[in-house]
Amino acid sequence: MLAIRLFRVGKKKQPSYKIVVTDKQNPPQGGQFIEQVGFYNPLTNEKTLKGDRIKYWLSVGAQTSDTVHNMLITEKIIEGEKRKRKIVAKKVEEKES
């Protein structure tokens, strides 16, 4: 299954993201993706999206991550309701004495 998701690049404490089409089974750190369809820099709020290519991949059956889906709605590339982000809290193990 194909997924459109963020791929982090950049130095430590200076994140920037490529928006890529990749196989959902590939880890995002692998750097192996099918096509780069955009770029996002959260520090300057700069976004570059290829709307026609994104629509093509969605028509082929690619799924978007929650963050990318919300970004596409904000930029009016697709229509719909925004998704709630899923934040997973880490479990804190209690020390037994």
DSSP bridge pairs for 7: 18
Backbone angles phi, psi at 57, to 5 degrees: -65, -35
- On whether residue 54 sits in a domain, the answer given is yes
Mean residue pLDDT of the chain comes to 89
Q: How confident is the model at residue 87 (pLDDT cuts 50, 70, 90)?
A: confident
- On whether residue 46 sits in a domain, the answer given is yes
- On whether residue 79 sits in a domain, the answer given is no
Residue 31's pLDDT is 78
Residue 97's pLDDT is 57
- On whether residue 96 sits in a domain, the answer given is no
- On whether residue 57 sits in a domain, the answer given is yes
- On whether residue 87 sits in a domain, the answer given is no
Q: How confident is the model at residue 70 (pLDDT cuts 50, 70, 90)?
A: very high
**Looking at the predicted structure, is the pLDDT value of residue 90 above 80?**
no
The boundaries of the domain holding residue 6 are 2-74
Pairing assessment for the beta strands 63-64 and 46-49 based on DSSP bridges: unpaired
**Number of folded domains in the chain?**
1
- On whether residue 20 sits in a domain, the answer given is yes
> Which tens digit of pLDDT belongs to each residue from 12-33?
999 999 999 999 888 777 778 9
